[in-house]
């Protein structure tokens, strides 16, 4: 039976987006193009989720189609990728739509980025290169069958049954980042992998693991997945052995512990608090091409774990141990060691500062640079111990020391 989602498209897309699609539809018909909504947007329409990105595929050449649209002043072309023949276009009321040409891809080397085999293939050939059946659906946008779902792979049924299924035996081998995508979609929609997909994943992780792969893709998927701050995702990441993909070590940590800390301390790099409990291998950290503050999290984590923090440390020693370390690294240290000091630092000590400035100390009679530093440190020690609290206390202390 044909399934038509015209009503869902009308009710779930903003009016301006619907207008843009209707103009695309008319232009496609008038100029002999076949165009489709494709991938995530179709899945999300069926699941009645919020539509974030609109992807349209043109059976043939998307660049030609978009130029036809822009010649008619229907859209502005923002970006063209010549090799892939993809176009980002802007319609009235700031509606952005990504257009792609149907394409076949092949993987010259397992785990590496694919190369294009053919642009302008059939829609069926295009969907068969994709990751999961739920992402391999299309909706026709041409007027005569506007809204009709085209399902070559049983994706509609899988969405109904909440199943994640890859399209072929080689899927993870070609692109291991799909293992993490599977985790992301499973958590986002509460779906489960079917037995076939589970087996393929286990086989890849236990017998076919390879470190010469596209780490940028893996990183991007891990970032999206762990940024969800979902305790269940992390537990699944450990239970399903997915952590082995990054050559990680399984820590005695539960997702809920991480989520609780993240909710309480709001670190900037949520995904790295999760991943940092698992990822240790320097080569992989390097391969992720992290930004400077992201890299610092791993360097700080190593420094903390190698450091020697006495069990009977004073507040001052605890402060010095964690001072200038990124919050993410302090949280990872806590999760891996379960010591109380990182929490003492975050809860009580981290924001304690000496209020007096160097110039003020000079006005109080301390003129030598070295002595200024020493005095500031003495004040800090007392503030951390709680014997000095206010700025007035600081001044009184300095006065008593210089009498």
Binding residues vs ligand CTP (CB under 6 A): 39-40, 53, 130-131, 135-136, 175, 177-178, 181
Q: What is the token pair recorded at 173? A: 């081998």
Least distance to ligand CTP, CB of residue 167, Å: 8
Dump strand ranges (E) for 2-74. Answer: 34-38, 55-59
CA angle 302, 303, 308 (to 5 degrees): 120
Q: Cβ distance 315 to 330 under 8 Å?
A: no
Q: What is the token pair recorded at 72? A: 């008619």
Q: Cβ distance 181 to 201 under 8 Å?
A: no
DSSP state letter for 389: -
Least distance to ligand CTP, CB of residue 45, Å: 12
Q: Which is nearer to ligand CTP, 58 or 136 (CB)?
A: 136
Dump strand ranges (E) for 122-222. Answer: 137-140, 149-151, 163-164, 192-193
Least distance to ligand CTP, CB of residue 128, Å: 10
Question: Cα–Cα distance between 132 and 129 in angstroms, integer?
Answer: 9
Q: Which is nearer to ligand CTP, 125 or 360 (CB)?
A: 125
Q: Which is nearer to ligand CTP, 130 or 219 (CB)?
A: 130
Q: Which is nearer to ligand CTP, 135 or 173 (CB)?
A: 135
Q: Which is nearer to ligand CTP, 136 or 398 (CB)?
A: 136
Measured from each CB, the residue nearest to ligand CTP is 40
Q: Which is nearer to ligand CTP, 53 or 355 (CB)?
A: 53
Least distance to ligand CTP, CB of residue 358, Å: 51
Q: Position of tokens 């190369």?
A: 115
Question: Cα–Cα distance between 132 and 130 in angstroms, integer?
Answer: 6
Helix (H) or strand (E) run with residue 118 in it: strand 115-119
Least distance to ligand CTP, CB of residue 171, Å: 8
Least distance to ligand CTP, CB of residue 130, Å: 4
Q: Which is nearer to ligand CTP, 190 or 266 (CB)?
A: 190
Q: Which is nearer to ligand CTP, 130 or 259 (CB)?
A: 130
Helix (H) or strand (E) run with residue 8 in it: helix 6-12
Least distance to ligand CTP, CB of residue 53, Å: 6
Q: Across-strand partners of 134?
A: none
Least distance to ligand CTP, CB of residue 41, Å: 7
Closest CA to 97 of 133, 129, 138, 66: 66
How far apart, in Å, are the Cα atoms of 306 and each of 295, 321, 330?
17, 11, 13
């Amino acid at each position: 039976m044909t399934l038509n989602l015209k009503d869902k498209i009308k009710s779930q897309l903003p009016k301006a987006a619907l207008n843009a699609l209707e103009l695309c539809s008319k232009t496609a018909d008038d100029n002999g193009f076949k165009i489709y909504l494709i991938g995530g947007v179709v899945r999300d329409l069926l699941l009645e989720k919020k539509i974030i990105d609109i992807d349209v595929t043109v059976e043939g050449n998307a660049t030609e189609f978009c130029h036809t649209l822009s010649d008619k002043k229907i859209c502005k072309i923002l970006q063209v990728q010549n090799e892939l023949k993809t176009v980002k276009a802007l319609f009235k009321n700031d509606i952005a739509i990504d257009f792609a040409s149907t394409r076949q891809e092949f993987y010259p080397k397992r785990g590496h980025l694919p190369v294009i085999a053919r642009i302008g293939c059939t829609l069926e050939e295009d969907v068969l290169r994709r990751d999961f059946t739920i992402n391999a659906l299309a909706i026709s946008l041409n007027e005569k069958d506007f809204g009709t779902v085209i399902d070559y792979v049983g994706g509609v049924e899988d969405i109904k049954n909440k199943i994640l299924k890859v399209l072929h035996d080689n899927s993870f081998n070609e692109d291991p980042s799909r293992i993490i995508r599977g985790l992301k979609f499973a958590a986002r929609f509460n779906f489960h992998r079917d037995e076939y997909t589970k087996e393929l994943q286990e086989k890849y992780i236990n017998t076919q693991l390879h470190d010469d792969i596209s780490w940028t893709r893996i990183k991007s998927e891990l970032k999206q997945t762990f940024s969800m701050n979902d305790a269940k995702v992390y537990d699944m990441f450990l239970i399903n052995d997915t952590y082995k993909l990054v050559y990680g070590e399984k820590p005695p940590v539960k997702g809920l512990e991480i989520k609780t800390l993240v909710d309480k301390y709001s670190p900037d790099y949520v995904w790295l608090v999760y991943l940092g409990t698992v990822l240790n291998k320097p080569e992989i950290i390097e391969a992720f091409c992290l930004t400077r503050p992201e890299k610092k999290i791993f360097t700080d984590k190593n420094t903390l774990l190698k450091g020697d923090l006495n069990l009977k440390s004073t507040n001052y020693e605890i402060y010095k141990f964690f001072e200038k370390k990124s919050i993410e690294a302090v949280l990872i240290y806590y999760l891996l060691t379960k010591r109380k000091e990182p929490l003492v630092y975050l809860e009580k000590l981290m924001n304690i500062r000496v209020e007096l400035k160097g110039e003020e100390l000079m006005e109080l009679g301390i003129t030598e640079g070295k002595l200024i530093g020493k005095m500031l440190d003495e004040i800090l020690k007392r503030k951390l111990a709680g014997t000095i609290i206010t700025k007035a206390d600081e001044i009184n202390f300095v006065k008593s020391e210089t009498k």
